[in-house]
Amino acid sequence: MAKNIELTERDIKLLEELAELSMIKVSNVSQIYGNDRYYEIRLLDLKKAHYVRRLKGYVMLGVNGIKYAKEHGINVKHVPSAHGQKERIQKISDLYYDFKESEWVFIDSRKIKEQKKSLDRGSNFLGLLVGRTEYAIYNIGKRPDEKKITLIKKEQEKLHRIGIYRTIVFYEDPQAREMYGTEGIGLKEQLLLPYPYGIELVKKHGEHDLVEEAAIKVYGGSLKEPDWKEADYSVNNKQIMVLVMNDVEKIAKIKNYFHLAQYRYTRTEEIEIVCLEEQEEMFREMFPECSIRTVKENI
């Protein structure tokens, strides 16, 4: 038998967000109720009253929650039955809460597809991050297959058609990063970052330009316009590339530069890389021709 409860303002907020997002991770519900343990007690009451139901660490609308939404004219985005689609919805919901209370606004890809009718309904991107610039967001997970990576890269190549020129691709395992590779596809930025650890880096990047800030931390006020047009800055005849955001487009440009110079037997500019301390080993191995300067993660 369903328990009778009176809905509070925060209960209603939860039901509205569940209608919009379909699923919310249990730990993220605390952002609605506050960071104490009250939200767990309240979820239990709402579950007994059939306003919500739970599945493997996530909350979704129950029969009474759906009824409440319909009675109040709230559109309900139902939870898909297919496992792959359900995982996708969970990632969208997680990203919404990852960037809540930050300088970024995360817009669900389902909204973007409604606004931009030319966008393929089967697109892989999870949403759009809007703030000091815009990024289409992807997550390739832990063990992506080559087909999935190829599809995501081809999709990114076409984003310019809807006015999107920057992407963030999250990965959940170093092996997934290796599989994705360092291929440039003509975007202004293609950031390849670990999830969830890369979230904090992106949030800081929303508050201020981490590329410029990292360069200033290392070189102070001696930054000049670069001689090599692909570089970020020039210092003492060195061409500076700031890779704190692990921009695949920049990495590809450095690789192409050395490859072409070797092919043409031409003299190369000295390129110096600025990266985070934990990235140093990776970039030393990737670019033995370059000198490396590091900054701490809390830039």
CA–CA dist 11, 178 (Å, integer)? 43
pLDDT digits (tens, 9 = 90+) for 168-181: 999 999 999 999 99
Q: Output the DSSP codes for 173-218.
A: SHHHHHHH-----S-SEEEEEETTTHHHHHHHHHHS-HHHHHHHHH
Task: Quickly count: other Cβ atoms within 10 Å of residue 75's Cβ.
Answer: 8
Res 259: pLDDT = 84
- What mean pLDDT comes out for the span 266-283? 89
pLDDT score recorded for residue 120 = 67
Residue 173 or residue 115, greater confidence: 173
DSSP-derived letter for residue 133 is S
pLDDT band at 2 (very low <50, low <70, confident <90, very high): low
Q: Is 103 helix (H, G, I), strand (E, B) or coil?
A: coil
* Confidence at residue 113, expressed as pLDDT on a 0 to 100 scale: 80
pLDDT of residue 52: 97
Q: Which residues pair with 53 in a beta bridge?
A: 60
Asked if residue 136 has pLDDT above 80, the reply is yes
Task: Tell me the chain's radius of gyration from C-alpha atoms.
Answer: 23
At residue 121, the pLDDT reads: 63
Q: Find the angle CA(176)-CA(141)-CA(148) to the nearest 5 degrees.
A: 75
> How far is the CA of 9 from the CAs of 48, 76, 123, in angstroms?
18, 19, 36
Q: Which of 234, 187, 242 is nearest to 211 (CA)?
A: 242
Tell me, what's the pLDDT at 140? Answer: 96
The separation between the first and the last C-alpha atoms of the chain, rounded to the nearest angstrom, is: 55
> Residue 80 carries which DSSP code?
P
Q: Tell me the C-alpha distance between 30 and 187, whole Å.
A: 37
pLDDT of 245 strictly over 70: yes
pLDDT at position 266 is 55
**Reading across the β-sheet that carries 127-130, which strands appear in turn?**
105-108, 127-130, 134-139, 166-171, 189-194
Q: Is the pLDDT score of 156 beyond 60?
A: yes
Please, are residues 136 and 156 in contact by the beta-carbon 8 Å criterion? yes
What does the block give as tokens for 91? 């990632």
pLDDT in tens, 190-236: 999 999 999 999 999 999 999 999 999 999 989 999 999 999 999 99
Residue 125 and residue 137 in contact, taking contact as beta carbons nearer than 8 Å: yes
Does residue 119 carry a pLDDT above 70? Answer: no
Q: Is the pLDDT of residue 37 over 60?
A: yes
Q: Per-residue confidence at 74, pLDDT binned at 50, 70, 90?
A: very high
Per-residue confidence (pLDDT) for residue 89, from 0 to 100: 95
Is 263's pLDDT higher than 70?
no
Instruction: Tell me what pLDDT residue 298 has.
Output: 73
Secondary structure (H, E, C), 26-62: HHHHHHHHCCCCHHHHHHHHHHHCCCEEEECCEEEEC
CB atoms within 10 A of CB 248: 23
Q: What mean pLDDT is predicted for residues 79-93? A: 91
pLDDT at 117: 62
Looking at the chain, the whole-number percentage of residues with pLDDT higher than 90 is: 81
The answer to whether residue 265 scores a pLDDT higher than 60 is: no
CB–CB of 191/177 below 8 Å? no
* DSSP states of 158-174: TGGGGT--EEEEEESSH
